[in-house]
Chain A
Amino acid sequence: MSLAEPAALPVAASAPPRLHLAKRFSTRFKASLPAYLLLLPSLVFLALFTYGAVGRVFIDALYQRATPKAPVRFVGLDNISAVLADPAFTGAVVNNLIYAVGTAIPSIGLALLFALALSRTNALTSALRAALFLPVLIPMVAASALFLFIFLPNVGLLDYYIGRFLPVLPNWLGDSDIALYAIMVITIWKNAGYYMLFFLAGLQSVPEDVMEAAHLDGAGPFTRFRHIILPELKPTFLFVTVIAILNAVTQVDHVFVMTKGGPSNATNLVLFYIYQQAVEHYDIGKASAATLLTLAALMALTALSFRTMANREGGA
């Protein structure tokens, strides 16, 4: 902090104690000027694409066109109520909730198993960690292209190896009762290795001597897990849960590639609904209203996540 622009220091030091308020403000501003110049490039883009975008959503959500060519007119909260009354939207919200729970719990559970099993470092565990981490790196679109074949009816990988043991071959992506779960499998496959990293980092803070002492007192592996490891990992759990929920809302590339939200909206998720309204129906008003509702829900969640991260001290 001693390195504010040196030229500014004497000015501040020689200033009389009861300076006029405006003058004091301008002195402070002058001293801050170099910092503002350094922040300017970032602030310009944040203003445009973060705050500007949020402002844009608020405004666009209030307007609507009667026909695609008609001029926009003010409709107040009509877009919001239209979105809330749209069964496709409420369906997407329900799907997204099922999808969030159904992907977060298995992928976090698996991540914890992987981390516990691979917490010691040797050549084999490093190789296994790398294998489990590979899906994290590849684009969701590429993962979808591979899983399109895995789920392909009759000749696909799943039916070729497992389907022959089932009485009836399910149409994994074509059956509206199964498709959402098929989509979840990809997400779990892709994200478990990512969450594993956080648990591996968290496990480092579990003291080895406490573990050994617990064992000498007769604590078995489950007792040690329940009473030493789990309490130590609590902040990691909260943090990873927030990330998993955020991913459940923001990752929809596989929906686009594999099902386009079908069959009969069974795999439609909120962000894909927003995309459809904007790009396929040219309905900016409804797309903005849906964005606004989702943002509000996520803001609450991320506010929670920052409290979590503050507890972790510099998680991100």
Chain B
Amino acid sequence: MTLIDRLFKDTPLATRREITPKLGFVLTVLLALVWLIPFLWMGVATLRPASDGINLMAELMPSLKPTLDNIRDAWEIGDFPRYFLNTTIICTGILLVQFVTITLAGFAFARLDFAGKSLIFYLFLMQLMLVPVLLIVPNLRIVAQFGLYDTLAGVMMPFFASAFGTFLMRQAFEAIPTELEDAALIDGASLSQRIRHIYVPLSLPSFSAFAIISVTSHWNDFLWPLMVINSPDKRPLTVGLSVFTATAEGTQAWGTIAAGTLMVIAPLLITFLIFQKRFISSFVTSGIK
């Protein structure tokens, strides 16, 4: 109990002797351990040699003879470098175009007065209400009409405009003092110069928050690329992993599946562990993506 007491030493004196919060805390610790079990199994199974056989596959105690065979197999069977490249292209492409569209639109909403402003604002808001994931069927038809079926550009296009990003940038731009822009205006700076040299540099935290949300959601997107992409060499990581899992499941190669899954999620997990605080605050602002 002394350990628990030490953890609770910063609570108000009056509540320090209560039992219920401590029980809740212990329960949360236990559940957090349960929450980590799938990840623990993934790590242990990745390093487990095939000679341990299927019956030891579930054992959470690591094998005494760890091997990298599973990682090698997954790498060779799965064409993961290609999937990585495709996912990277998709996420970067979407993000770069989004940066342009949300900066321009966010600036218009934050600083310009124009006819039909509230109407256009509601047009943007509609995108949040219409939950883009549900529109996969009509969007596939539209992408096909553009001749972009089975292309990475087709996967990216529906996400080029982002109402969420626009509102985020509008909020960030509104917080910037107008005096800064007035000064630049007196010096003869054009609209694009003012956006580039005043608004964008001062809003970098909002850009990074948006980048985190955008990249994680498109890194993890599955159903939409599954519909658009047909050729195996254009698959993103998620689609690649699902095909890989289906194949390896048939041969009961669970160590290889664990290794493949590990490779797919490792980049995001490592980035998260480095920029933990940033990730958490971005996700709080995300609400509805």
Contacts and interface: CB of A to CB of B under 8 A. Distances in A.
Interface residues of B, number: 116
A49 B142 contact: yes
**On chain A, which size bracket covers the interface?**
35 or more
Contacts of A50: 126-127, 130, 132, 135, 161
Given A3-B178, A56-B141, A114-B31, A34 B280 contact: no
B142 A53 contact: yes
A311 interface: no
Interface stretch (B64-72, B103-111, B203-211): B103-111
A149 B216 CA distance: 25
Contacts of B136: 274-275, 278
Contacts of A39: 104-105, 108, 120
Contacts of B45: 149
Given A114-B31, A137-B272, A215-B14, A256 B242 contact: yes
Interface in B48-96: 54-55, 57-60
B129 A43 contact: no
Of A28, A29, A49, A144, chain B has the most CB atoms within 10 Å of the CB of: A49
A35 B223 CA distance: 35
Nearest to A160: B58
Contacts of A110: 31
A141 B139 contact: no
Contacts, number: 330
Main secondary structure, interface of A, reads helix
Contact of A49 (B14, B158, B249): B158
Contact of A309 (B18, B39, B258, B287): B287
Contacts of B139: 49, 53
A146 B40 CA distance: 10
25 contacts: A34-B191, A35-B112, A38-B108, A39-B108, A46-B123, A49-B157, A57-B137, A57-B138, A117-B21, A126-B276, A131-B33, A133-B279, A141-B245, A145-B260, A146-B261, A149-B58, A149-B257, A149-B258, A198-B284, A220-B20, A249-B134, A256-B223, A295-B134, A305-B288, A316-B285
Given A197-B284, A215-B12, 9 more contacts: A4-B112, A32-B112, A35-B108, A35-B117, A110-B31, A132-B35, A157-B60, A302-B129, A302-B288
